[in-house]
Amino acid sequence: MHESEHPKNSPVEPEDPMMLKAEPVSGDPEVMLACIVEEYARMGWGADEIMELFDKPFFRATNGLKALFGEDEIRKRIESTLRQCGVLRCKETHAEPETEV
Amino acid sequence: MSKVYNWQLGRKMKYPYDENHPDWQFAFVFNINRCIACQTCTMACKSTWTFSKGQEFMWWNNVETKPYGGYPQNWDVKLLNMLEKVNPDKQAWSADKGGTEKPYGTFQGMTIFEAAKKNISPTGSQRALGYLPTDAEWRSPNIHEETAAGDTMKKGEWGHSTQLPEHKVWFFYLQRLCNHCTYPGCLAACPRKAIYKRPEDGIVLIDQERCRGYRKCVEACPYKKSLYRPTTKISEKCIGCYPRIEGKDPTLSSNGVPLETRCMTACVGKIRLQGLVKKAPDGTWANVPDNPLHFLIRERQVALPLYPQFGTEPNGFYIPPRWVPRSYLTQMFGPGVDAAIEQYVCPDRELLDVLQLFRASQQIIFKFKIEKGPKVAELEVTLPSGKKKTQEVYNDTVIGYNKNGKESIRITVEEPTFERGSEHVNSI
């Protein structure tokens, strides 16, 4: 058996799963940052607690934003958002378990 | 084919079986805005139901990253492409929104059931348009999804590397499980009639004795939430934690009240609210304005179905993420996106109260009541349009009741606190 053409020189198959495809989708990470901070402020989280979400590498979205903007900038934006929207506090009271009669 | 009414499409559509609705319907709302993909829900489900041999790649609940990710990979893009190929340039909505009959307008394109008849292959047509993912596509639920957030490589650092278009880091997490659809694709496609909806709660189950593992359900479920188990050679899917829904968990529910599923109760981000909605005899949702799901989904329409255009009338609903481009969200959640986000960003008094019920109690909340309090704050909110609006916060108390009508949870909204920035000398 002798192939006339080396595979590396042959054209890429249209359905080749290894072919790299990428397309940018427009979006704004600054809006994403502001929204996430506000969401957690609405849940009653303070600046330090929210900052932890950005510090921990396990949370890739928030940690990625920290890599993009830098720690100081993230802290500044958290404080600025909290100054505007405040931290919403709620008091939860759970009912006592019902006892069987 | 029968003609059935799909309220999410605002019209009747073709379906292989007649309408036959349960008394109650399992449903849930996810608030995408708050999810950080901690995957606690995923592991709660995995450790409860799919930890055995042959279930290694089986994730009944998964959280995937959009716009890149999917489990199986590209499940939604593939099906959207298939629909577009069958019905090019016509997969669109009309703007005739109106009442409970057609809250999002009318879908004028083809559902997976309608498109299937136009897509004749050498083996005939399918009952629902779909495809069977390859093993590689199932292999890893989050593979390569968040690489956009990884370390920055310098240009040309890798020899002969490809220059990709620049993409700013943004994405959101999509939480997925079986939608326990009103018109399930899996049920329609099963040649053994092994799949059924439970009349008491609308949970969709696969009869493990009848199933022969033909994988027609795997092919037909547009959300790819029916999965094949190679060790038993039959298919399995989310069972809606039905022992909990029935109130038969002996430890947690000694009084027999229904509990939310494992994935819902495990959510630390408080993004999930699950329950049962009452169905009217004609299959529509009974008008129960004090049911929190009815309030969020039907009355306020702040939570929207995932890909309603597929036509299965899914019973999972999502509060869309407000930082994501609208065209992308509209394709994913239908034409109700703008109105939903507008409401959510600056919630009125009642909506803010009901939003506090998310993950407040393990018990399913069947009814809520609001005890009104005085106004405690006015906050300036910037709407997505850029306009400013004032949000009023009231010292209200929202009370959730379980199936027995007993109080389960009571949450009081208090005055917001404002933290001073680090530039202030006396700040902590």
Q: Is some CB atom of chain A closer than 8 A to the CB atom of B167? A: yes
ipTM metric: 0.83
Contact at CB, B149 and A23, closer than 8 angstroms: no
Q: CB-based burial of residue A41 (10 Å sphere; 0-12 exposed, 13-18 middle, 19+ buried)?
A: buried
pLDDT tens, position by position, B67-124: 878 999 999 999 999 999 999 999 999 988 777 789 999 999 999 999 998 887 777 7
Choose from B35, B74, B161, B168 for mutation: most chain A CBs within 10 A: B168
* Residue B362 token pair: 């393990």
In chain B, domain spans: 2-143+171-342
Contact at CB, A26 and B410, closer than 8 angstroms: no
Report pLDDT for A28: 83
A84 pLDDT more than 80: yes
**CA dihedral angle for residue A63, residue A68, residue A72, residue A77, rounded to 10 degrees:** -80
Alpha-carbon gap: A3 to the closest alpha carbon of chain B (Å): 26
Task: Report the CATH architecture of B2-143+171-342.
Answer: 2-Layer Sandwich (3.30)
Q: Please say whether the beta carbons of B119 and B303 come within 8 A.
A: no
Q: Is some CB atom of chain A closer than 8 A to the CB atom of B143? A: no
Question: Which residues in chain B show pLDDT less than 50?
Answer: 148-150
Report pLDDT for B149: 45
Query: What is the distance between the alpha carbons of residues B220 and B306, in angstroms, rounded to a whole number?
Result: 16
**Distant-in-sequence contacts of A43-46, Cβ < 8 A, 24+ apart:** A43/A88, A43/B34, A43/B270, A44/A87, A44/A88, A44/A89, A44/A90, A45/A87, A46/A82, A46/A87, A46/B419
Report pLDDT for A26: 75
In chain A, domain spans: 29-85
Report pLDDT for B418: 82
pLDDT tens, position by position, A17-48: 666 566 667 778 888 899 999 999 999 999 99
Report pLDDT for B152: 57
Residue B319 φ then ψ, to 5°? -85, 115
A83 pLDDT more than 70: yes
